[in-house]
Structure 1
């Protein structure tokens, strides 16, 4: 604040010595600046309150977005909601695993060997096999799975789901209809 006062005093002196402004003397402008500097405390307080209100709104929005899935889990979900959540999870998990494999390959693109390609192919095949195993539960549940509680059949790991959310995969718009899952399950 002291720097502000020094700067203002230098500007006042400069204008006082060199420029007459709008037929008012510089003492008028000095008094105007002093009045404004006294009012600036109210202005600063108002700006701080506006900034605080904006931050409060953003925090509320962020908390409502991130806590909504936890609140939905606490309430009763319909069978369709549970299946949709499970389908979205297994599709995003497949995308994340394939993306991770591709990223590793891209990072080593100058030093890739046949072993790197073979390992990447094996890892991709494993990711697809896990997806197909989980997708089969959605498409063709067997008799023992039908008798189990729905949460056991279509359970989603909260840690993995949280990791996928943090990594941004839940922002992807994907089709989780039965036809889309069947198409990926039976892909050749």
Structure 2
């Protein structure tokens, strides 16, 4: 699925290489911003289909850009591409409505896959990132009061979702069919008052 992409990163060589990589895979890179300020302006003027944002930039980075974009009521899908992100920043990003988080050390095709996923209206967070966020929530004592309404099996599935596992992987881990996992997910979402995996992670970290 071809997309009009805005990239923001303050490392020129990396920025140029990423732009060429995306162009070589049928995406249209409409803007390469080296500052958060420029990226925020270009999001408004160029109307990209998806944002690929470095988390750490000299003038704010991905969180600053995403905050400004969401305050402007712009729902454009946003992906953080980063060397690393602190667990508390992951929670903040999810609350702001980030759609994907990809690590720079990963396979480049993970970014392409993430772009396809967020363009379908779904969320993809690197499992290594979601796992650290989960550990942070446990250590900090974050837990939804609604967790008590979940059955033991639902709590097990919730923990696997927090670790980044997909339905097929959860089914294999729990000895269930994918259909049964979907039934459990429907029940979990209803009990916790959430509509997506990302919302579930945020809900159980508050």
Aligning the two structures, in what range does the TM-score lie when normalised by the shorter sequence?
under 0.3
* TM-score where L is the length of structure 1: 0.24
TM-score (norm 2): 0.23
Higher helix share goes to which structure? 1
Q: Which has the larger radius of gyration?
A: 1
The structure in which a higher percent of residues are strand is: 2
Greater length-normalized contact order (CA 8 Å, ≥ 6 residues apart): 1
